[in-house]
Amino acid sequence: MTALLTIQQLSITLQDNVVLSELDLSLNKGDILGLVGASGCGKTTLLNAIAGFNKPSQGKIVIDELLLSDDNCCVPAENRQVGMIFQDYALFPHLTVHENIAFGISKLSKAEQNQQIDQLLTILKLKEYSDSYIHQLSGGQQQRVAIARALAPKPKLLLLDEPFSNIDARLRNELMVEIRQLLKQFDMTAIFVTHNKDEVFTFADKMAVMAQGKLLQFDTPSVICQQPNSYQVADFLQLGSWLPCHLDATGAQSLLGRLALDKKCLEQHKLAYLLVKPAQLLLNTVVAGDHLANAQVDYISVTEQGYHYYLSSLDSAVTDKALSFSKLSLYSDRVLSLKQQVSVSVKPHDFLFFSKSN
């Protein structure tokens, strides 16, 4: 399959500040990509570069086999067939819903405009609001108008900057599912920026994790969740807690006991961090001589999955400071109290170790 969007070695420097650095990315037609990363890592700058609002210092952007930007050319934004939806939707308050959608297709005849707008209003369930002004609509309806306005000129790619951040948390999930179905109906390729990884899992087919202008990992959300490629990715996405371990030739030593490793886990790091998901921890009954206490409860909250505890290593158990841990996340139906000493072990599983420096 030919890629709809190809980005190669894209770098952008703004006022002597390297904001994007040698970024490669490729999307097939109909793919929805969720772009995540800490504030200031360059997500909006990447969208702006694709839309044609800023000029790369290096690299190539190709959409549907058309070269939009390289060292020698930079196609202006209005000729790129890229639609953009901003966080605040940027709708015109003095125009009706119909007029807002018509804005980008004014070159078409009135009859063609009306036919296209009618079709969009029907699909987006906005028909009865055609003559309403923007302030008369709910947040979700305004968002649908913004989508209709962006889709009207039939873009090849749709860019959405934090599209769900202004939507009430209760409605957000419902709206995400609805808009995803809509984009799929149009076979629309889209990139959306978010600060919320759960939005990526609901809305996207692919996920890109960025840090400091670089792409750390690009894959499906489930692969990234199961196989993060670095400490930074797992830590940013909060995929589990960290248990420091000393790796040696036969296993890993932690304050929660010794872990037997199979051969492929063996690496030569002296100190490594095991990514532990709550379901991989076992809360044992403390019995002197058998399961000795090795952690204490620092924090308790009530959740749908039972009590949520944060545990830290017991000072008395720490002989090697490098192995001490804090904020080990554990869910249990058992009632524990603050500062209670407990015994926790790690269930055997496909261990994922990371070094902080990679």
Ligand X SMILES: Nc1ncnc2c1ncn2[C@@H]1O[C@H](COP(=O)(O)OP(=O)(O)OP(=O)(O)O)[C@@H](O)[C@H]1O
Binding-site ranges for ligand X (CB under 6 A): 14-15, 17, 19, 37, 39-45
Which C-beta is closer to ligand X: that of 22 or that of 298?
22
The answer to whether residues 77 and 55 touch, using CB atoms and an 8 Å cutoff, is: no
Question: Could you give the CA distance from residue 282 to residue 259 in angstroms, rounded to a whole number?
Answer: 13
Q: Provide the minimum distance between the beta carbon of 92 and ligand X in the complex, in angstroms, as a whole number.
A: 24
Provide, rounded to whole angstroms, the least separation between the CB of residue 90 and ligand X.
Answer: 16
Cβ 160 to ligand X shortest distance, Å: 13
DSSP assignment of 191-254 equals: EEE-S-HHHHHHH-SEEEEEETTEEEEEE-HHHHHHS-SSHHHHHHTT-SEEEEEEE-SSEEEE
352 φ, ψ to 5°?
A: -115, 110
Question: Measured from the CB of residue 117, what is the shortest distance to ligand X in angstroms?
Answer: 32
Exposure string of 270-290, with b = 16+ CB inside 10 Å and e = fewer, is: eebbbbbebebbebeeeeeee
C-beta closer to ligand X: residue 58 or 253: 58
- Residue 71 CA to residue 75 CA, distance in Å, equals 12
Closer to ligand X by CB, 160 or 247: give it: 160
Nearer to ligand X, 17 or 185 (CB): 17
Decide whether 98 or 206 has the Cβ nearer to ligand X.
Answer: 206
Q: What's the closest the beta carbon of residue 158 comes to ligand X, in angstroms?
A: 17
Least distance to ligand X, CB of residue 19, Å? 4
SS3 134: helix
Residue with tokens 């969740």: 225
Going from the C-alpha of 335 to that of each of 76, 207, 208, 300, the distances in angstroms are 62, 37, 39, 10
> Nearer Cβ to ligand X, position 161 or 205?
161
